[in-house]
Amino acid sequence: MTKKNTPETHAFQAETRQVLQLMIHSLYSNKEIFLRELISNASDALDRLRFEAIQDDSIYEGDSELRIEIETDEEAGTLTVRDNGIGMNREEVMENIGTIAKSGTRAFLDRLSGDQKADAQIIGQFGVGFYSAFIVADKVTLSSRKAGDAAEEGVRWESDGGGEFTIEASDRETHGTEVTLHLKEAEKEFLSKWTVRSLVSRYSDHIGFPIRMQAEAEEGEAEWEDVNKASALWTLPKSDISDEEYQSFYKYLTHDMDDALCWAHNKVEGSQCYTTLLYVPATAPMDLMLQRDERTGLRLYVKRVFIMDAAQSLLPHYLRFIRGVVDSSDLPLNVSRELLQENELLKKIRSAVVRRSLDMIAKIAKDDPEQYKMFWNQFGAVIKEGVADDFANRERIAPLLRFASTHGEGSEPCVSLEMYKERMKEGQETIYFITAENYQAASNSPHLEVFRKNDIEVLLMSDRVDEWMMAYFTEFDGTPFKSVAKGDIDLSALQPPDPDSAGEDGDKKDSEDTTQSLDADLLKKIQDTLNGQVSEVRASRRLTDSASCLVLGEQEMALHLQKLLEQAGQTVPDSRPVLELNADHPLVHLLQEEEGDEAFSDLSQMLYEQALLSEGGSLTDPAGFVRRVNKLMLRHAPPDQ
């Protein structure tokens, strides 16, 4: 068994090496971010130490003046970033150093395209952290000791960023972490104190701890001086903060390469005192739709003391993309995650955070529709979750929704519910919609035929969340929703009068005549032939061009969603749709004239199966469907010449 103080050499995992090399090459044009990342790590370590000291201040070991120091050595060609924060023990160094690929590595690598600019954005979302040092260094040495541990329990880690790293025990008198970068020959510009100071000012001026560098001195020992404001940005008056500073803090907070789309900074004083600084990112993280079970949330501070990084109690999950800080003056410093769930003050803060987040998004929609399109393409699907998850704010969320529609611009989801209502026909009392597995399936659905014929707008919904959302979304501003693929459809009140129809109710009479134009015995025979696959066969008032379609009950699940659940191994409720036939279609005429039992059965089954396919359902016997289609084509093919 290896002794704890024996130096060890370990190989990086293959995927970790691949990510590291890709990161170094993709981020080279933004190489100065290494300093932001190292300072961010140091700040987090100081935050954690200060939080631990709430319970026991002896953990400071007599050094409670928390700080970050940056030192350059031109002769040695090194740049060092050190802190007197919480520090790490051997196990934590093994676990934490190199966590750029700690989880989701394979999915991360699969997203990379080889385009350096595009890959840099993905890497930025993933978080570069400690390993950004290798962008400018050909060797990195880390020394650390966890606060409270003995001096001999320090640890030293070193690597050239290639295939291996070494780790060994190392005596260290002070707690905290020191990272020394042995700079590449081409990166010696970062030995310039002026360069380093300007980078601190650009990226880390807002850090709430002093960042110190040695001042130039003519004689005697050099003195340390602060090179940042050391004021938590959210505590400053808004009038004192520039847009550039807001964006810099966002990048520090999120490790994002891009600027935030917008932000909202509010301070509440009175019976309760707290400050919120909320950001909307410009780009969604690559795993946004997979984060329903991940730890997300805002950073929580109490009286500027960092409490936790992902306070889930502060945001509902449909706003999981919102980033930012909440700082309360009233919560206890030793508040735990469990207490947060039950704290009444925090519930009030959460309510305000949700309201401000939605107001911030609504402001984009109102002031800049083009920018809102970009936002919606990134985050629209998760905003829709709020319709079902957050009943209290549904009236705030509904105006934010955007959909494609039969009157819209292609597949672009740019139609709001207010816009739809303004365009409703005279006498129309329903918002019509259809859900499908993709835009093409929705746009080409046979259920839309009579609506297009009568120029009635239908919303086209193709996000996976849509079918679930609409189960909870029954009306907007007093107007009910109606799926064009479920239940009966009667548009007689919206159709123009037919001059050839007799009587005041000629249009209604014409609709009834169409329904009755298929013989009841024929419909019964088709239903019997389909042997329980459908609950009813009837003439359609929906179809003008297609031969058939399937209609579900008002409360039944769409067929494309049933298929998804089945593929996921979920139990799907039994569903027997209605088969509607177009009485004017040649295939239906052919069925009426068919006398042979086998041909009648084949044609009936084919009409059902093509309707099933058009709804996104699955065939139980695809080969049988192909045989039936082939038989029909051969039967009606012209004879050989």
Distance CA 464, CA 233 (A): 39
Do 173 and 151 meet the contact criterion of CB atoms below 8 Å apart?
A: yes
Average pLDDT over every residue of 13-24:
70
Instruction: Enumerate the domain spans of the chain.
Output: 8-231, 238-366, 402-494, 515-635
Q: Which CATH number fits the domain 8-231, given the four candidates 3.40.50.800, 3.30.750.24, 3.40.50.10540, 3.30.565.10? A: 3.30.565.10
Distance CA 69, CA 83 (A): 6
Angle, CA 527 vertex, CA 525 and CA 529 arms, to 5°: 70
Mean of per-residue pLDDT scores for the chain: 85
Q: Which CATH architecture has domain 238-366?
A: 2-Layer Sandwich (3.30)
Q: Residue 346 has what pLDDT?
A: 86
Percent share of the chain, pLDDT over 70: 85
Do 446 and 549 meet the contact criterion of CB atoms below 8 Å apart?
A: yes
**Is the per-residue pLDDT at 118 higher than 80?**
no
Kindly report, residue by residue over 604-626, the tens digit of the pLDDT.
999 999 999 988 778 889 999 99
Q: How many helices (H) and strands (E) does the chain have?
A: 21, 22
**Is the per-residue pLDDT at 25 higher than 50?**
yes
Q: Which CATH architecture has domain 402-494?
A: 3-Layer(aba) Sandwich (3.40)
- The backbone region for 323, taken as left when phi is positive above 0, alpha when psi lies in -120 to 50, beta otherwise, is beta
All residues at 6 or more sequence positions from 255 whose CB lies less than 8 Å from its CB, including other chains: 37, 40, 124, 125, 127, 128, 129
**Is the per-residue pLDDT at 498 higher than 60?**
no
Do 456 and 494 meet the contact criterion of CB atoms below 8 Å apart?
A: yes
**Is the per-residue pLDDT at 106 higher than 80?**
no
**Selected residue with higher pLDDT from 597 and 398:** 398
Average pLDDT over every residue of 482-494:
87
**Is the per-residue pLDDT at 2 higher than 60?**
no
Q: Residue 149 has what pLDDT?
A: 95
Q: Residue 102 has what pLDDT?
A: 46
Quickly state the pLDDT bin for 208 (edges 50, 70, 90). confident
**Is the per-residue pLDDT at 508 higher than 50?**
no
Fold annotation for 515-635: Four Helix Bundle (Hemerythrin (Met), subunit A) (1.20.120)
**Is the per-residue pLDDT at 225 higher than 70?**
yes
**Is the per-residue pLDDT at 560 higher than 50?**
yes
Do 363 and 307 meet the contact criterion of CB atoms below 8 Å apart?
A: no
Q: Residue 366 has what pLDDT?
A: 95
Q: Residue 411 has what pLDDT?
A: 87
DSSP 325-369: EEEESSS-TT--HHHHHH-HHHHHHHHHHHHHHHHHHHHHHHH-H
**Distance, CA of 10 to chain centre:** 36
**Is the per-residue pLDDT at 315 higher than 80?**
yes
**Is the per-residue pLDDT at 374 higher than 70?**
yes
Lowest mean pLDDT among 27-31, 335-339, 522-526: 335-339
Do 158 and 166 meet the contact criterion of CB atoms below 8 Å apart?
A: yes
**Is the per-residue pLDDT at 506 higher than 50?**
no
**Is the per-residue pLDDT at 516 higher than 50?**
no
Do 295 and 313 meet the contact criterion of CB atoms below 8 Å apart?
A: no
How far from each other are the two terminal CA atoms of the chain, in whole angstroms?
87
Quickly state the pLDDT bin for 111 (edges 50, 70, 90). low
Average pLDDT over every residue of 205-216:
88
Percent share of the chain, pLDDT over 90: 55
Sign of CA dihedral 226, 228, 234, 240: positive
Q: 337 is written with which tokens?
A: 């995650």
**Is the per-residue pLDDT at 258 higher than 80?**
yes
**Is the per-residue pLDDT at 117 higher than 80?**
no
Average pLDDT over every residue of 90-117:
62
All residues at 6 or more sequence positions from 338 whose CB lies less than 8 Å from its CB, including other chains: none
